[in-house]
Structure 1
Amino acid sequence: MPVTNYGVWKARAAGSIVESHADDRRSPHLSLYYHEDPNANPDFDPSLRDDNNNIPGFFRAAINIKSGHRQDSRLVYWVNGDFEQHRMAERLDNLPFGFRPLRGATDETRGLDYIRGNLFNTPSGRRLFHDLPGPDNDIIEVLQPEIDDIVEKQADIYLFGARFGSNDGIHDVHMNQGNARQWKNDDGVFQDGGLVIHRKDSNQWVGIFLAFASQAVHTDNRSGHAISSMTWDNFLLPDIIENAVVIKEAYVNPGPGQSRSVTLSNLMNRRVPLENWTIHSSAGGRQLLPLDYILAARGTELFEVPDCPLSTDGDIITLVNEEGLKVVGVSYNRTQGSRQGSPIVFR
């Protein structure tokens, strides 16, 4: 059966708490705390949080920032910065503060639908892991600044999802159809979760939408069940920003007893096959990585690159996958390249 207690909650954000990899490896959330009084600005004190992540005086939105799918824990993240152009914006603006149930066939009673609602530019989605080293490459670093901004600017927010049975918050703030078998019972149409923001000072409307990379792109018009095996992971173009495998360092000017090499690091919690991956230099050098090599989860490995000369005057090093698509690239200058016997470390 579809998710229960589905609807939209109009409110004002007050603060947030995000769970990192160290806090919760299995099912981390971003907790967004909010209230229903547009004329109030209550003090937000995260130290008052109880064992269930509740804070007295506030409602809580439990926003998933990692999938429970064993093979793919990534989320897909879309932003529509021109949501005022969607016909839903005017309807939302007229809603009173509080929770409104949504379960109907008309525009006024329907909820969000990622497949049928034309809510965003579908190919623009980014597949993001929960918590990775490096800037702007995981869901925390992408989502948290948006949340901080709506708190600071006292924006109106519209949370779509399923209200808790205790009525003190909302969850399922993500796509709720095309689920893998374990969550198939939650499937339905026009019941997807999401966050719509209205910044009153600039009259800007922004929609933020989250799905799991393992969810299906095509679903049945009545049940919301998957009708093809294509998932968001299959559908979206490769995103070179994710940097799941990165170039950690390189010896471009090796000293006595050293070899020219490039060191790769896997930032993910799963192994990555590197068969037919290659390392390139800007001058056309090309080093094929060892056949059948698999880079361990969170592993680091040094690869000698005798077939890929790296200039001491500065160069660009690019890692390319088996499909010929760029995974990551780094560059260095003449000063870095002239230091013999020391690796160039890339951040």
Structure 2
Amino acid sequence: MPITNYSVLAGKPTAGKVVTGASTHYQITMQAPGGPFTVAVNIQSVDGSEVLYDIVEDFTPPDLAELTALPMGMTALKSEPGGSALDFVRSTVNGQPMITKEQMILLPQATTKSRGNAEEQMVQRARAKALENAVVTLLNMTVADKDGVIYAFGSSFSDSGKVDGIHDIHMNQGNPVGGKGGGFSKDNGVWQDGALFINLPSKGTWTGVFIAFQTESWSTDSSGNPV
């Protein structure tokens, strides 16, 4: 079953912080009609699988005109081609893949063996910090730009009358059935991947932030399951 409430949130970021727990993520507060909203960006995995990420500068969104025509706030998306929905395996930009596994950077998680080694732990923390620092830098640049906007793609949620938001801002297909990562096979689907697109009008730039997990296959069928 695909993720629920596939959407894109467009808004102005105002603050950010690291939230630890079962899944360490970077939490961005965004202002937009219907908000404020919370954007939860995974910087570590829940199941201990290795994180892949890439930050694409001088990026062009797959359908720039449609994206910029969206209103500020939360917009539900149809999980199908020809619109604003994203698919890491199928989306293209000017005839080229929007993102590939080969261009992504690996952030290994600490292994059980290395957790008792202080030096290894330090290395692992430094690697995890790289993604966090990159997101913080982009956040600060967007806050500084008076017209800066973040477009966050993922699964929208309502927090019981508190702050609503969006999460699952990563690849949402190719999860294995059974074994490591198998618990997320229920989220598999096509044209429902998450990402961050950052627009800085003062600089005339777009930046794409893409996150996936090593357990996810980049060869998927029409239901988003690995083949």
Normalising by structure 2, report the TM-score.
Answer: 0.79
Residues of 2 paired with 1:87 and 1:111: CA distance? 9
More helix by share: 2
What's 1:203 paired with?
204
Match of 2:192 in 1: 191
Work out whether 1:77 is the aligned partner of 2:56: no
Does 2:27 align with 1:31?
A: yes
Superposed CA RMSD in Å reads 2.3
Q: 1:91 aligns with which of 48, 66, 69?
A: 66
Q: Gaps spanning 5+ residues in structure 1: where?
A: 38-56, 228-347
Determine whether 1:148 maps to 2:140: yes
Q: Distance in 2 between matches of 1:76 and 1:121?
A: 11
**Structure 1 residues 300-343: Cα deviation after superposition (integer angstroms, max 9, x where no partner):** xxxxxxxxxxxxxxxxxxxxxxxxxxxxxxxxxxxxxxxxxxxx
Partners of 2:79 and 2:134 in 1: CA distance? 33
Matched with 1:113 is 87
Residues 12 and 129 of structure 1: CA distance in aligned 2, closer, same or farther (over 3 Å): farther
2:76 and 2:122 mapped to 1: Cα distance? Answer: 40
Q: Name the SS for the 1:67 alignment partner.
A: coil
Change (3 A) 1:213 1:144: farther
C-alpha displacement of 1:122:
3.7
Give the match for residue 63 of structure 1: 41
**Equivalences for residues 299-338 of structure 1 within 5 A:** none
Q: Would you say the 8 A contact 1:15–1:32 is kept in 2?
A: yes
Which position in structure 1 is the counterpart of 2:214?
213
Q: TM-score, normalization: structure 1?
A: 0.53
Alpha-carbon spacing, 1:113–1:217, altered in 2? closer, same or farther (3 Å): same
Q: Rg larger in 1 or in 2?
A: 1
By relative contact order (CA 8 Å, sep 6+), the higher-ranking structure is 2
Whole-angstrom CA distance in 2 between matches of 1:34 and 1:209: 19
State the shift of 1:106 in Å.
4.5
Cα drift, residue 16 of structure 1: 0.3
- CA drift of 1:129 comes to 4.4
Change (3 A) 1:133 1:148: farther
Shift of 1:143: 2.7
1:68 to 1:136, Cα distance in 2 relative to 1, 3 A: closer
* Aligned residue pairs, count: 199
